[in-house]
């Protein structure tokens, strides 16, 4: 299973924050999550954030514009 690295650490190699790490043993993954080194990858997190609307912009008089 793949996890997102939240803090830089050494494992079988050096992992940097933001990398993905594959952990095959569930108990190892639970221990690393308990230490705050990895987190489960959230599908919603991978999607781009929606563009915020400009609240100061005036609504057009003609909606076709």
This prediction has a pTM of 0.62
Specify the 3-state DSSP secondary structure of 43.
helix
Per-residue pLDDT for 13 more than 60?
yes
Residue 24 has what DSSP assignment? -
Reported as a single tens digit per residue, the pLDDT across 24-47 is 999 999 999 999 999 998 766 556
Element (H, E) at 9: strand 9-10
Per-residue pLDDT for 14 more than 80?
yes
Q: Are 30 and 14 in contact (CB under 8 A)?
A: no
What are residue 27's phi and psi, to 5 degrees?
A: -65, -35
Going by C-alpha positions, the residue among 19, 45, 43 that lies closest to residue 32 is 19
Residue 50 pLDDT: 74
């Amino acid at each position: 299973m793949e996890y997102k690295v939240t803090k830089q650490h050494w494992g079988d190699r050096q992992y940097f924050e933001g990398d993905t790490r594959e952990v095959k043993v569930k108990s190892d993954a639970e221990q690393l999550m308990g230490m705050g080194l990895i987190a489960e990858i959230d599908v919603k997190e991978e999607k781009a954030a929606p563009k915020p609307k400009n609240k100061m912009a005036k609504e057009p008089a003609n909606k076709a514009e």
